[in-house]
Amino acid sequence: MYSNCVKAGPERAPHRSLFYAMGYTPEELKKPLIAVVNAHNEIIPGHYHLDFIAYSVKRGILEEGGTPVEFPVIGICDGIAMNHTGMKYPLASRELICDSIEAMMIAHGFDGMVLIGNCDKIVPAMLMAAARLNVPAVYVSGGPMLAGWHKGKVTDLISGPFEGVGAYAAGKISLEELERLELDACPGCGSCAGLFTANSMNCIAEVLGLALPGNGTVPAVTGRRLQLANLAGHQAVKMWRKNVRPRDILTLDAFENAIAVDMAIGGSTNTVLHLMAIAHEARIPLSLDTFDRVSRQVPNLCKLSPAGKHHLEDLHKAGGIPAVLNRLAQLGVLHLDALTVGEKSIGEIAEEGRVLDSDVIRPVEDPYLKEGGIAVLRGNLAPDGAVVKQSAVAPSMMRHEGPARVFDSEDEAFRAITGGQIRPGDVVLIRYEGPKGGPGMREMLSPTAALAGMGLDDKVALITDGRFSGGTRGASIGHVSPEAMEGGPICAVRDGDMISIDIPARRLELKISDSELQGRLASWKQPPIKATNGYYLHRYARLVSSASKGAVMT
């Protein structure tokens, strides 16, 4: 046992004494020490109930012959941090969470861990830590929130109050209606009900092999969620006994499987950032080209909110991720031998999967789209790539050319949108919001939701070196690389320049001559970092890599 470094032998008498001070017994110290890494807090609805999840995990560890030891990690609610300075922190917190798990695990000599998270950056941070530390590990989420109900219709955080802000600004609804929406949208605990970033990553964790089937779709409020947590505790001890480690599971095949499912279900564009970051920690080469190659091979089989009317509870009732795997196995696009912590291969899980609702999970011969949910665009505006959730783009906006409306921050753009300054046909361009420029690569949910609420999501495109929430819909192109802060071409765009978007052809072009573009870039001067020296974000801005490489700190 690795934990013997803190508990075995005469020289560890002081260490054991400290354990005994907390009530641990000599018998418990003879067993493997399994960390229960719990992101519970009272500020994120997806994490508010994780203390109950942790209780079930610890029971499972005890029943399987391990000793559970719980410690906390931080978490930020993207929804509450949205559209103000706080949104600079969520992506940057991913590295903090991963680093803090590393510090706690190594300092205390744990033999394995169960990671309990649920929301946007906490999930990838935990999977990154599993890959980095390479000790036996199982991830379990707190589960998705149930959808809300407003005036006889299903709603959620995005289609309700976020888009309601735009509808109110456009005079389409009253303030009283907006207040009613905010009361109805989120009925209880869990990660927000649509296929936004948190639920995308929780589903992907199943396919990567570090979480058990059902992890992404079993609702937060069910007894089945607690049973799943208990089973995760059992499996962590079993993985320790068999010495099965995360990097045995996180192979290139596993990442390609995860990307295939991501494309099939139409996950958040943030999954590109996070899968590349996890692959970096697992020492697996992964590039944007892989995402686009898989996207061209895998049809989009699901349209969950924000792209469609269904929510995670509907995907669960339709058979969940095993049912999606069953569909994809028919196409021959999966690596069926890939391992999982459930001791079944992806092929075995796919074989057991059953589609119970073909409207939620379409047949492969009748998909929502012939290509996957995410497309990677390139061109003189994004030489290193940009990403778009094409499954949430209106057909009329798959190809678009219009004049740029240029803003150097999200705040300026949001004021212009809600102030009625954006016209049909415009291309809203928001720059200096990338990993370095933000710093922190803010999500642009408020601008895109406002456009949707105003009825402009099928008439206006939005391009940024920042990123988008998984709840964004419309022709929203993010992760433009190189970013403006690094002197990428996006820094040279001027108001009125024509921009051409061709998603089927994977092109993003600024319609000026090469000589004009080079002249503008030659005269550009890098602005100062938009963060106070000594603060975490200032250090982050100096160390973070490009979005095209996962925005990892180097």
| pLDDT value at residue 508 | 98
Nearest to 305 by CA among 360, 377, 244: 360
Choose, from 295, 469, 476, 481, the residue flagged as catalytic: 469
For residues 99 and 239, state if they share a domain. yes
Instruction: Return the DSSP state at 116.
Output: E
Q: What is the pLDDT of residue 7?
A: 96
Residue 142 burial (10 A CB sphere; 0-12, 13-18, 19+):
buried
Which pTM was predicted? 0.95
Neighbouring CB atoms inside 10 A of 71's CB total 15
The answer to whether 217 touches 302, Cβ cutoff 8 Å, is: no
CA distance 217 to 539: 37
pLDDT, one tens digit per residue, over 251-302 is: 999 999 999 999 999 999 999 999 999 999 999 999 999 999 999 999 999 9
Torsions phi, psi of 31, nearest 5? -95, 165
Same domain, yes or no: 302 and 403:
no
In a domain, 165, yes or no: yes
- 3-state SS of 296-347? HHCCECCCECCCCCECHHHHHHCCHHHHHHHHHHHHCCCCCCCCCCCCCCHH
**182 within domain boundaries:** yes
CATH code, 336: 3.40.50.2300
- CB contact at 8 A, 71 and 114: no
The single-letter code of the amino acid at 116 is I
Residue type at 503? I
Tell me: do 344 and 454 sit in the same domain: no
Residues 326 and 466 in one domain: no
**Strand 112-117 versus strand 148-150 pairing type:** unpaired
Is residue 383 domain-shared with residue 305, that is, in the same domain?
A: no
Asked whether residue 336 falls in the same domain as residue 453, the answer is: no
Judge whether 46 and 198 are in contact, CB under 8 Å.
yes
Question: Which CATH number does the domain housing residue 470 bear?
Answer: 3.50.30.80
**Whole-Å CA distances, 474 to 42, 165, 297, 427, 453:** 32, 17, 23, 12, 11
pLDDT reported for residue 444: 87
Q: Please give the pLDDT value at position 45.
A: 97
137 closest CA partner among 10, 7, 281, 262:
281
Whether residue 14 is contained in a domain is answered as: no
Instruction: Give 26-67 as a DSSP string.
Output: HHHHTS-EEEEEE---SS-TTTTTHHHHHHHHHHHHHHTT-E
Pair 498, 531 in one domain:
yes
Quick: pLDDT tens for 500-550.
999 999 999 999 999 999 999 999 999 999 999 889 999 999 999 999 999
CB 201 within 8 A of CB 77: no
Would you give per-residue pLDDT tens digits along the chain (554 residues)?
999 999 999 999 999 999 999 999 999 999 999 999 999 999 999 999 999 999 999 999 999 999 999 999 999 999 999 989 999 999 999 999 999 999 999 999 999 999 999 999 999 999 999 999 999 999 999 999 999 999 999 999 988 999 999 899 889 999 999 999 999 999 999 999 999 999 999 999 999 999 999 999 999 999 999 999 999 999 999 999 999 999 999 999 999 999 999 999 999 999 999 999 999 999 999 999 999 999 999 999 999 998 999 999 999 999 999 999 999 999 999 999 999 999 999 999 999 999 999 999 999 999 999 999 999 999 999 999 999 999 999 999 999 999 999 999 999 999 999 999 999 999 999 999 999 999 999 998 888 888 988 999 899 999 999 998 887 888 999 999 999 999 999 999 999 999 999 999 999 999 999 999 999 999 999 999 999 988 999 999 999 999 999 999 98
User: Going by C-beta distance under 8 Å and a sequence separation of 6 or more, which residues neighbour residue 422?
Assistant: 405, 416, 428, 451, 456, 460
Q: For residue range 173-219, what is the model confidence (pLDDT) as tens digits?
A: 999 999 999 999 999 999 999 999 999 999 999 999 999 999 999 99
State the SS3 of 61-76. HHHCCCEEEEEECCCC
Q: Is residue 276 one of the residues assigned to a domain?
A: yes
Residue 492 covered by a domain: yes
- Residue where the block lists tokens 């573009």: 517
Percentage above 90 pLDDT, the chain: 94
Pairing verdict, β 399-407 and 67-72: unpaired
Catalytic residue check, 469? yes
CB-CB neighbours of 518 under 10 Å: 12
* Domain contains 540: yes
In a domain, 26, yes or no: no
Task: Classify strands 399-407 and 498-502 as parallel, antiparallel or unpaired.
Answer: antiparallel
The Cα 428–Cα 426 span in angstroms is 6
**Structural domain of 239:** 31-147+187-352
Instruction: Provide the sign of the torsion angle of the four alpha carbons 280, 282, 284, 289, taken in this order.
Output: negative
Residues 113 and 233 occupy one common structural domain: yes
Beta strand pairing status for 476-481 and 382-389? antiparallel
Q: Would you call 378 helix, strand, or coil by DSSP?
A: strand
Contact 328, 318 (CB under 8 A): no
Same structural domain for residues 478 and 442?
Answer: yes
How many domains, in total, are found in the chain?
A: 3
Last residue of a domain, one of 156, 186, 216: 186
How far apart CA 442 and CA 86 sit, in angstroms, is 9
Residues 328 and 380 grouped into a single domain: no
Residue with token string 């929301």: 119
Please, which residues have CB within 8 angstroms of residue 181's CB and are 6 or more apart in sequence? 150, 155, 160, 161, 164, 173
- Phi and psi at residue 435, in whole multiples of 5°? -55, -45
In this structure, are residues 139 and 130 in contact, taking their beta carbons and an 8 Å threshold? yes
Runs of H (alpha helix) within 85-174: 90-108, 122-133, 163-169
Do residues 131 and 152 both lie within one domain?
no
Q: Are residues 58 and 197 in the same domain?
A: yes
Asked if the structure places residue 513 within a domain, the reply is yes
pLDDT at residue 66, as a whole number: 98
User: Six-digit token pair at 417?
Assistant: 């949108």
